[in-house]
Chain A
Amino acid sequence: MSNHDKEVEKMVFVPKVDVIEGKNNFTLRADLPGVVSEDVDVNLTGDLLTIAAKVKEYEARGLPMLYGEFVTGDYEVSFKVSNKVDKEKIEAELKDGVLTLTMPKAAEVKPRQIKVKAA
């Protein structure tokens, strides 16, 4: 339900995303302001990972809008996950409107130290 002046068609936005590569993991962070964890859906179908989130509109106390710089809306983004990620072990967490996906690297791309045995 909208508290705002007019009920307009709900927008769907592509969230801003960072991807960080670490030694053992890839970490993806997506800005999803106004979203609670129950309303985020992270779905992996084959190689395609989709983040879909419903925004919880803020409580405007029934006050009309005097000035506006942003509109609220839902979020959706999809991307292909490469074989460098161990798809079975992707974990997701949402805090303060930021979604964090931790994607461990698949064993074959993890750097491996090969011990040299003294002969």
Chain B
Amino acid sequence: MNWNVFDAWDDPFGWTGSVARRSRLSGAGFPRLNVHGNEEELLVVGEIPGLNSDDLDITVKGRSLTLKGSRKIVELGEDENYSHRERTGGEFSRALTLPFEVDPDKVSANYENGTLSIHLPRTEKDKPRKIEVKVA
């Protein structure tokens, strides 16, 4: 038996949402990432709704950052079927090359409201140094 719960699913014009389907920059993998930073620190942010943070591995080595994890979309019970499906799950992996070396001991990550934020401070030895010019 396969009938739809929502009349709208049968009718492509049943959706009343007047806005376009969420469009993102193409070419990127999952999760989509934004990188913020300056010369001393970086912040990598990703949208991963419904993530169990135990299923996430963050690896930092020198100038490389790797995110590996799996997003579990709820498994169906015996009597359950999808009537409509757009969300995707499964394993993901993303690697980024950072503009400078970061200190792995000082990296911190926070997952809140489906958004992952990773803060990566630059290593001390790699930080740009100002050389003062003495006026004689």
Known: A33-B49, A58-B45. A21 touches B17 (CB 8 A): no
B34 x A18 contact (CB < 8 A): no
Main secondary structure of the interface of B (DSSP, over half): loop
Question: Residue on B with the closest CB to A105?
Answer: B5
B36 near A13 (CB under 8 angstroms)?
A: no
What number of A-B contacts does a CB cutoff of 8 Å give? 165
Answer whether residue B32 sits at the interface, using C-beta atoms and an 8 A cutoff: yes
Q: Give CA–CA (A109, B30) in the complex, Å.
A: 39
Query: Could you name 26 residue pairs across A and B whose Cβ atoms are closer than 8 Å?
Result: A16-B22, A17-B87, A18-B82, A19-B82, A21-B5, A34-B47, A34-B114, A35-B113, A61-B41, A61-B43, A63-B38, A64-B36, A66-B36, A68-B25, A69-B25, A69-B28, A69-B34, A70-B25, A70-B33, A79-B8, A80-B7, A81-B5, A82-B4, A96-B49, A96-B113, A96-B114
Q: Which residue of B lies closest to A12 (CB)?
A: B19
Q: Is A6 an interface residue (CB 8 A)?
A: no
How many residues from B make CB contacts under 8 Å with A? 54
Q: Given the known inter-chain contacts A31-B50, A34-B113, please indicate yes or no for A14 contacting B8, CB distance below 8 A.
A: no
B123 within 8 A of A: no
B: residues with CB less than 8 A from A are 3-9, 14-17, 19-22, 24-25, 28, 32-38, 41-43, 45, 47-51, 73-74, 76-77, 79-87, 99, 111, 113-115, 117, 119
**Assuming A29-B74, A34-B114, A97-B49, is B17 touching A60 (CB within 8 A)?**
no
Bound CA–CA A84/B10 (angstroms): 14
Residue A21 contacts which of B16, B38, B81 (CB distance < 8 angstroms)?
Answer: B81
**Complex-state Cα separation, A52 to B117, whole angstroms:** 25
User: Which residue from B7, B17, B83 sits with its C-beta under 8 Å from A14?
Assistant: B17
Asked if B19 contacts A76 (CB within 8 A), the reply is yes
What is the CA–CA distance of A29 and B84 in the complex, to the nearest angstrom?
10
Q: Which 7 A-B pairs have the closest CB atoms?
A: A97-B114, A97-B49, A33-B114, A63-B36, A13-B22, A33-B47, A69-B32
